[in-house]
Structure 1
Amino acid sequence: MTYYRLFRGIFRIIFSLVYRWQVIGREHIPKEGPVILCANHISLWDPPLLGSGIERQVHFMAKEELFKIPVLSFLITKFGAFPVKRGAGDRAAIRTTLKLLEDGKIFGIFPEGTRSKTGEPGEAMSGVAMFALKSQAAVIPVAIVGPYRAFRPIKIVYGKPIDLASLREAKSSAEVLKETSDLIMTHIKELRSQHLP
């Protein structure tokens, strides 16, 4: 946690001085208990931005290739990342995520699964729905309103928790997963639209 606070402090300085960041809605983050932060994805800067805007530590999946780079591996591990094999159902990463949520931690995820080349939010993959439905975590939509340009404001907006009660009560199916993913992505898109310049 000491390393995490150190790196978060460094990122906060970068985001303040270089990008003049604006953080909105951090009061919507529960002070304790499991939370899933679901954000649109436009840049490699998104994970540290997502984690730097709040006081609680945020954990992330990161592609396993990054953990083979010595210095980078150390840095991202200390910043709360753990490896995932992309393109396959990585059961170890899934178990790690569910255990984090079971332990009352915060997990950050980008439902699109990859960065948007246009800056516009795309479609959500089913992974975010699986974590949302298999846990009792508060699901928070987050809008990153860019682009990242030096000395131009960038916003990170944390929304109110999404009500998933009825979907969690429904029998799990491909349709329920898609409906949940779409609902989460819709909230992210609406939040982003409300805060566009």
Structure 2
Amino acid sequence: MRQPQQARSQDSAAKVLDAALEILGSQGPAGLTIAAVSELSGVSNGSIYHRFGDRRNLLVAAQDRFLAQIEDTWLSRTAAVWDIPDRDILLGRMIDVFLTVFPENRLIFQAFMLSGSDDPNLRQRGTASTRKAAREFTALLIDRFDATPEAADSAYRILWGQALSTALFTNTEVTKTPATPQTRHKHLLKALQATNHNITQPPPTNHQPT
């Protein structure tokens, strides 16, 4: 009997966390209440409180689930990129990943970034996720194109800054200079090319994400 009960408990927790993320994605943190999550998930208030304790613990658990999903998505989207031999095509594909994942989840990123400024648990998990993405991205440039660690890190910071700005602000809130997504993409590619201007073009390897 214990295994079915555990399975039901895990399923119930997943429903609660998915409901919390759906609310954060549509309404932001202001809409995240135990009552709203209960209504959307179909799990009772009492069960949610028993499992998570309070709204803050629910938010921490939801962030962990969200970032784990994003990390899996990031790796799955970049898996096909690792064997691209051409530097410019590879960098362009990496830009696509950054400029897709963040806008798709804009309100959720906002919720965790803003809440994380005052919550050490949220901040610690966010930092771990950011550093994991940095390790994957910089390892790609270092291992595949002989970039220096400093150059690879600068390239990551350029993309991270762009992704962060799209998550926290609209385009016009950042600057009033109009530009199409295609133009932004082209300029980002040139910035990464300039950062890694000493990169050579070695033969492709079988490097895979770790």
TM range (shorter): under 0.3
TM-score using structure 1 length: 0.27
Structure with the bigger percentage of strand: 1
Q: Which protein, 1 or 2, shows the higher relative CO under an 8 Å CA cutoff with sep ≥ 6?
A: 1
TM-score using structure 2 length: 0.26
Larger Rg: 2
